[in-house]
Amino acid sequence: MRTPPIEWLEKVIGINSITHHTNEEIVRFLIPLLEETGLKVETQKVIENGENFYNLIAYSHSLASPNLLVLNTHLDTVGAGNHSAWTKNKGNPFKMTRAKDRIYGLGAADVKLDFLCKIWAARLSKPWKRPFALIGTYGEERGLIGVQQLFQLKHFKPRYALVGEPSNLELIYAHKGHLIFTLSAELKSRKTKGKLIAKKWKGKSAHSSTPELGDNAIRKGLVDIFKRGLGIIELSGGSDSNRIPDLCEAILIEEQTPLTKSLFGLLSEIDELSKDLKKLKDSRFSPASSQISLNQAVTQKGKLQLTFDIRLLPGMDGIKLQQKIEALAKKYSYIVETISIDAPMKGSKNGMLITQASQSLKACGVKPLKKTKASSTEAAIYHQHGAEAIVFGPGISIGNVHRPNEYNSLAQLSIATEFYTKMLQLPPVGSA
């Protein structure tokens, strides 16, 4: 069998590993599969808000091996959004559906099934000729936090990293960075005799690295509010910081409030900043420029909170951009509550790992294509720690992930498994 057992695929899609939800169940399912493969297995446990999160680490020889190849996959997913929009899964994104060559379900492409391909490849590639580790991380979808925890382990110093993301079987050697920031302002209580209005706006979800493929429901709602001169009492929209929101709901009053006026001014200036960012282009990427996307809005604990993200081109000064954002926030009496920056990755087309990966793809009958990626990945963290890193995985990203009816291809899962098998059967990169 060239692909992992179908019951494995069904099981991992059926497990809720949404990024803010503990990943304990999926880790418990995977540990016996890894042990049965003959790998040594460890976990790295982190407790957040009373919940357990794990990095899953399985290795053939030693994590301290000088030529260690890491095959990394994140086990978390974004939120499912509106379940009724998952028409291929009959309203249940955790119930795997198969239709001819396609497997539908949350995490099918991004990126849980990739880890199963790697486990199956480890079984097919025995006896192992090179030291390697299969690593399943937590928290990738909220700032690459799991992979950063890995490097707290003193003995973890990989030389090469093959990072799983849906790449349509293309070899990704460079990608954009990711800046996320949350702005908040106090909701000053005020008595009003005006009529309360409940409003709802629908959009279309998409990965925030390709916002043009979605329809931002929060933006749609705010434009309507500003045009009609209404005031915001409550606002809610968006489920993830890296996903275009498909729904926005609000409770409004028939008079504009100071908060609404200041929000209009703030967003107008953020739009101008976004226009400036679009002027900087790098033709290697699609989209070729950066822009600012408003992905979450919520009123809670007496505050309005807005979460934005920006995809940073390699060479872009994230710190300088952060300072501009902080200045804008201060001007309109907003507070920058959180800000995180994931660096871009500027790798090489001609590195030793990508050369070997190209040869392995050719042996699978696939023409190797070296490309860039508009989103950020864990490969940048490996790159920062001195490893040569590339991104590869089965499945289509653009127009498919971070939205309902996400799917993967059995044909691509089969090729990916064969590719990983060939990579593990090769001698270590750089060995004599």
> 371-393 pLDDT, tens per residue?
999 999 999 999 999 999 999 99
Give me 84's structure tokens.
Answer: 């009724």
The parts of the chain modelled with pLDDT lower than 50 are 432
pTM as predicted: 0.90
pLDDT for 192 equals 63
Give me 104's structure tokens.
Answer: 């539908």
Across 83-152, where does the E strand assignment appear?
Answer: 97-99, 102-104, 132-137
pLDDT for 193 equals 66
pLDDT for 432 equals 42
With contact defined as beta carbons under 8 Å apart, do 31 and 121 qualify?
no
pLDDT for 28 equals 99
Structural domains of the chain in order of their starting residue, each with its CATH number: 6-176+345-425 (3.40.630.10), 177-342 (3.30.70.360)
With contact defined as beta carbons under 8 Å apart, do 176 and 314 qualify?
yes
DSSP state of 412: H
- Cα–Cα distance between 237 and 34 in angstroms, integer? 39
> 116-140 pLDDT, tens per residue?
999 999 999 999 989 999 999 999 9
Within a 10 A sphere around the Cβ of 64, how many other Cβ atoms? 12
Residues 6+ apart with CB under 8 A from 197: 230, 251, 252, 253, 254
Q: Are strands 69-74 and 132-137 parallel, antiparallel or unpaired?
A: parallel
Residues 6+ apart with CB under 8 A from 352: 160, 388, 429, 430
Query: How far is the CA of 89 from the CAs of 3, 75, 80, 102, in angstroms?
Result: 22, 20, 12, 12
Query: How far is the CA of 309 from the CAs of 144, 203, 257, 304, 338, in angstroms?
Result: 14, 18, 26, 17, 11
Residues 6+ apart with CB under 8 A from 27: 43, 54, 56, 75, 136
